[in-house]
């Protein structure tokens, strides 16, 4: 049983995250929990905080009514209202469950403050040890049938394999394993081939459909996005390439994919995962 955590600020954009979570719940035994975070203020103004809390409860009631008929049978949709730093409360809520992941839009704004625009979505992704699935555009895939699995020469790039493979099994999806390099040398080619073989062996043992390919070019992000569009993929699985735990800064390639991809992106931090 997974808990799917969905940050909500009641904007149409944030509801795309909920719709994507519902799509995942069709194939995953899960509960969906929407999370709204009130900003903690140094000013003591209980009237406005209570007003915001009532507003959030009323909006959640409308959402539950609207989406009740779209939920798969036996899937529960509930909500929680928290107070604090937005990204931290989202992460804490997700990590309060043994098995969970976050599904969120990367854009949106509430009537109280800007929410996802800017750094909050990136902070959520970088601060959690749980997987995060993001959607930038308005178009939702009808199902998850093709997953792009990019590999580079870093050992971290394979850590996303267990959760990606689990999704592929649950959705009966095909995994496209693609090795990426901007410089073809004998040593790099040999290392990438070894990594690709390890991933393909892992998938084959679990009877997961897969294909493999090798791409070379100066712009690795462009290679990934063009390939994803060419095969009409439904999900791209990446590592966040985290370079600073203190400031939650992701690598530029990960940020570019999140900012430019028209299809959902699965992001996983370079840490040991046990799925």
CATH of the domain at 179: 3.40.50.620
Report the pLDDT value the prediction gives residue 249, as an integer from 0 to 100.
Answer: 44
pTM beyond 0.75: yes
217 domain residue, yes or no: yes
Whether 7 and 127 map to the same domain: the answer is: yes
Residue 48 lies in a domain: yes
The model's confidence at residue 182, banded by pLDDT at 50, 70 and 90, is confident
Q: Pick from 87, 110, 135: which residue ends a domain?
A: 135
The answer to whether residue 114 scores a pLDDT higher than 70 is: no
Are the C-beta atoms of residues 99 and 3 closer than 8 Å to each other?
Answer: yes
**What pLDDT score does 55 carry?**
92
What's the whole-number mean pLDDT along residues 101-123? 65
Looking at the domain assignment, is residue 140 inside a domain?
no
Residues 200, 168, single domain; the answer is yes
Q: Quick check: 8 pLDDT over 50?
A: yes
More confident residue, 233 or 113: 233
Beta bridge partners of 78: 33
Question: In the predicted model, is pLDDT for residue 242 greater than 50?
Answer: no
Mean pLDDT throughout 201-229? 95
Q: Are residues 162 and 251 in the same domain?
A: yes
**Is 140 in a helix, a strand, or coil?**
coil
Higher pLDDT, 183 or 95: 95
d(CA 242, CA 127): 10
The verdict on 126 and 190 lying in the same domain is: no
Whether residue 257 lies inside any domain: the answer is yes
Assess whether 131 and 8 both reside in one domain.
Answer: yes
pLDDT attached to residue 152: 83
| Tokens matching residue 123 | 């902070």
Quick one: pLDDT at residue 33? 98
Is the same domain home to 69 and 169? no
User: Residue 34's pLDDT is what?
Assistant: 97
Instruction: Mark whether 10 and 130 lie in a shared domain.
Output: yes
Give the angle 26-31-32 at the CA atoms, nearest 5°.
85
For the segment 18-45, the average pLDDT, to the nearest whole number, is: 86
Tokens of residue 50, six digits: 């209570």
In 138-260, at which residue ranges do the beta strands (DSSP E only) sit?
146-151, 174-181, 210-216, 235-239
The distance from CA 191 to its chain's CA centroid, rounded to whole angstroms, is 28
Task: Name the 3-class secondary structure at 167.
Answer: helix
pLDDT at 248: 42
Domain count along the chain: 2
Any idea which residue has 């070379």 for tokens?
216
Write down which residue in 115, 135, 155 finishes a domain: 135
Q: What is residue 136's predicted lDDT score, i.e. its pLDDT?
A: 85
Q: Average pLDDT in the 143-160 region?
A: 87
Instruction: Identify the domain containing residue 246 by its residue range.
Output: 146-268
The rounded mean pLDDT for the chain is: 86
pLDDT at 173 over 90: yes
Last residue of a domain, one of 74, 103, 135: 135
Helix (H) / strand (E) element for 267: namely strand 265-268
- In whole angstroms, what is the distance from residue 119 CA to residue 238 CA? 18
Rounded alpha-carbon distances, angstroms, from residue 129 to 3, 100, 102, 274? 14, 10, 11, 11
Q: Which residues contact 165 (CB under 8 A, 6 or more apart)?
A: 175, 202, 203, 206, 208
Rounded to whole angstroms, the Cα distance separating 76 from 25 reads 10
170/229 same-domain check = yes
């Amino acid at each position: 049983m997974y808990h799917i955590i969905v940050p909500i600020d009641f904007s149409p954009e944030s509801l795309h995250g909920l719709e994507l979570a519902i799509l995942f719940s069709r194939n995953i035994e899960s509960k969906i929990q929407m999370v709204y975070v009130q900003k903690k203020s140094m000013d003591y103004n209980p009237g406005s905080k209570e007003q915001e809390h009532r507003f959030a409860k009323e909006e959640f009631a409308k959402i539950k009514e609207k989406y009740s008929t779209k939920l798969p049978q036996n899937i529960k949709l509930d909500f929680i209202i928290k107070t604090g730093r937005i990204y931290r409360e989202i992460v804490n809520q997700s990590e309060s469950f043994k098995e969970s992941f976050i599904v969120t839009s990367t854009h949106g704004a509430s009537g109280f403050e800007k929410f996802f625009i800017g750094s909050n979505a990136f902070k959520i992704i970088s601060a959690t040890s749980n997987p995060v699935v993001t959607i930038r555009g308005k178009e939702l895939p009808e199902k998850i049938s093709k997953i792009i699995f990019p590999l580079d020469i870093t050992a971290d790039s394979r850590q996303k394999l267990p959760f990606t493979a689990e999704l592929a099994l649950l959705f009966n999806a095909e995994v496209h394993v693609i090795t990426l390099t901007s410089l073809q040398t004998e040593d790099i080619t040999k290392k990438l081939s070894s990594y690709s073989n390890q991933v393909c062996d892992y998938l084959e043992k679990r009877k997961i459909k897969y294909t493999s390919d090798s791409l070379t070019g100066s712009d690795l992000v462009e290679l990934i996005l063009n390939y994803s569009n060419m095969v009409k993929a439904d999900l791209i699985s990446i590592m966040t390439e985290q370079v600073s735990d203190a400031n939650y800064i992701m690598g530029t390639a990960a940020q570019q994919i999140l900012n430019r991809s028209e299809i959902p992106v699965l992001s996983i931090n370079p840490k040991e995962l046990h799925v």
